[in-house]
Structure 1
Amino acid sequence: MASTVPVPVISSAHLGLSISGGNRHECISSSSLTSMSPSPQHLLTAFGGIIAIPLILSQGLCLQHDGLTQGHLISTIFFVSGVCTLLQVTFGIRLPIVQGGTFAFLAPSMAMLSMPEWTCPAWTQNASLVNTTSPEYIDVWQSRMRELQGSIMVGSLFQVLVGFSGLIGFFMRFIGPLTIAPTISLIGLSLYDSAGMSAGNHWGISTMTTALIILFSQYLRHIPVPFPTYNKTKKLHTSRIYIFQLLPVLLGITLSWLICYIFTISNVLPSDPEKYGYLARTDLKGDVISQAPWFRFPYPGQWGLPTVSLAGLIGILAGVLSSMIESVGDYHACARLSGAPPPPKHAINRGIGIEGIGCLLAGAWGTGNGTTSYSENVGALGITKVGSRMVIVAGGVLMIIMGLFCKIGAIFTTIPTPVIGGMFLVMFGVISAAGVSNLQYADMNSSRNVFIFGFSMFSGLVIPNWIFKNPDAIATGVVELDQLLQVLLTTSMFIGGFFGFFLDNTIPGTLRERGIMDWNKIPLDDSSNTLESSEVYNLPFGISSYLSSFSWVRYVPFLPPNAPSSQDEAMVDSLATKQQPVKPEVIRSVAL
Structure 2
Amino acid sequence: MATQVDNSIQIVDLNDEVQCENADERQNMEKKKIVIFDVDERPPWYLAIVLGFQIVFGVLLTWMIALICTTSGVFPENPSTYGYAARTDLKSYAIEEASWFYIPYPGQWGLPVITLAGVLGMFSAVIASVIESLGDYYATARMAGASPPPPHAVNRGIGVEGIGCLLAGLWGTANGTTTFSMNAGLVGLTRVGSRVVVQMCALIIIVVGMLGKVTALFSSIPVPIVGGMLCILFGTVLAVGLSNLQYVDLNSPRNLLIIGFSLIMGLLIPYWAGNNRELIQTGILELDQVIVVLLTTGIFIGGLLAFILDNIIPGTIEERGLVAFSQQSKEDYGINSLDVYELPFGMTLLRQWKWTQYIPFSPTYTRKRITVAKKDRSNVGNVETIANGV
Give the TM-score normalised by the residue count of structure 2.
Answer: 0.69
Match of 1:537 in 2: 342
> 1:262 and 1:320, CA in 2 relative to 1: closer, same or farther beyond 3 A?
same
Consecutive unaligned residues in structure 2, runs of 5 or more: 10-32, 366-390
Correspondences of 1:183-262 after superposition (within 5 Å) = 239-241=45-47, 243=49, 245-262=51-68
Match of 1:511 in 2: 317
Match of 1:489 in 2: 295
Is 1:292 matched with 2:98? yes
Cα-to-partner distance string for 1:523-570 (whole Å, 9 max, x where unaligned): 36885669x94x982452xx44445554433433433559xxxxxxxx
Cα-to-partner distance string for 1:480-511 (whole Å, 9 max, x where unaligned): 33333222222222221121111110000111
> 1:239 and 1:479, CA in 2 relative to 1: closer, same or farther beyond 3 A?
closer
Match of 1:463 in 2: 269
Is 1:379 matched with 2:188? yes
Deviates more, 1:521-530 or 1:265-274: 521-530
Correspondences of 1:142-181 after superposition (within 5 Å) = none
Higher relative contact order (CA 8 A, sep 6+): 1
Secondary structure in 1 aligned to 2:130?
helix
For 1:291, the aligned partner's letter is: E
- Residues 327, 352 of structure 1: 8 Å contact kept: no
For 2:342, the aligned partner's letter is: Y
Structure having the higher Rg: 2
> 1:258 and 1:370, CA in 2 relative to 1: closer, same or farther beyond 3 A?
same
Consecutive unaligned residues in structure 1, runs of 5 or more: 5-25, 30-221, 227-237, 563-592
Match of 1:480 in 2: 286
- Residues 128, 297 of structure 2: 8 Å contact kept: no
For 1:559, the aligned partner's letter is: S
Match of 1:140 in 2: none
> 1:421 and 1:225, CA in 2 relative to 1: closer, same or farther beyond 3 A?
farther
- Aligned-residue offset at 1:458: 1.3
Alignment counterpart, residue 368 of structure 1, candidates 169, 175, 196:
175
For 2:123, the aligned partner's letter is: L
Secondary structure in 1 aligned to 2:45?
strand
Secondary structure in 2 aligned to 1:422?
helix
Match of 1:35 in 2: none
Match of 1:556 in 2: 359
Correspondences of 1:340-355 after superposition (within 5 Å) = 346-347=152-153, 349-355=155-161
Match of 1:318 in 2: 128
Q: Distance in 1 between matches of 2:138 and 2:274?
A: 33
> 1:558 and 1:297, CA in 2 relative to 1: closer, same or farther beyond 3 A?
same
- Residues 168, 176 of structure 2: 8 Å contact kept: yes
> 1:328 and 1:448, CA in 2 relative to 1: closer, same or farther beyond 3 A?
same
- Aligned-residue offset at 1:284: 2.6
- Residues 267, 298 of structure 2: 8 Å contact kept: yes
Cα-to-partner distance string for 1:66-95 (whole Å, 9 max, x where unaligned): xxxxxxxxxxxxxxxxxxxxxxxxxxxxxx
Cα-to-partner distance string for 1:38-68 (whole Å, 9 max, x where unaligned): xxxxxxxxxxxxxxxxxxxxxxxxxxxxxxx
Is 1:330 matched with 2:140? yes
Q: Distance in 2 between matches of 1:242 and 1:27?
A: 23
Match of 1:567 in 2: none
Alignment counterpart, residue 199 of structure 2, candidates 372, 378, 393:
393
> 1:463 and 1:348, CA in 2 relative to 1: closer, same or farther beyond 3 A?
closer
Q: Distance in 2 between matches of 1:495 and 1:407?
A: 40
Match of 1:167 in 2: none
- Residues 363, 370 of structure 1: 8 Å contact kept: no
> 1:411 and 1:223, CA in 2 relative to 1: closer, same or farther beyond 3 A?
farther
- Aligned-residue offset at 1:348: 5.1
Secondary structure in 1 aligned to 2:319?
helix
- Aligned-residue offset at 1:410: 0.9
- Aligned-residue offset at 1:263: 1.4
Q: Distance in 2 between matches of 1:423 and 1:450?
A: 31
Q: Distance in 1 between matches of 2:241 and 2:109?
A: 35
Alignment counterpart, residue 358 of structure 1, candidates 151, 164, 170:
164
- Aligned-residue offset at 1:274: 4.2
Match of 1:523 in 2: 330
Is 1:272 matched with 2:78? yes
Q: Distance in 2 between matches of 1:362 and 1:519?
A: 37
Give the TM-score normalised by the residue count of structure 1.
Answer: 0.48
Match of 1:204 in 2: none
- Aligned-residue offset at 1:327: 1.4
- Residues 554, 561 of structure 1: 8 Å contact kept: yes
- Residues 258, 310 of structure 2: 8 Å contact kept: yes
Cα-to-partner distance string for 1:378-427 (whole Å, 9 max, x where unaligned): 4377x46x84x544433332222122222221111111222223323333
For 1:405, the aligned partner's letter is: L
Secondary structure in 1 aligned to 2:216?
helix
Correspondences of 1:559-574 after superposition (within 5 Å) = 559-561=362-364
Matched residue count = 327
> 1:512 and 1:299, CA in 2 relative to 1: closer, same or farther beyond 3 A?
farther
- Aligned-residue offset at 1:451: 0.6
Secondary structure in 2 aligned to 1:398?
helix
- Residues 453, 500 of structure 1: 8 Å contact kept: yes
Is 1:404 matched with 2:214? no
- Residues 488, 495 of structure 1: 8 Å contact kept: yes
Is 1:420 matched with 2:226? yes
Percent pairwise identity: 41
Q: Distance in 1 between matches of 2:154 and 2:137?
A: 9
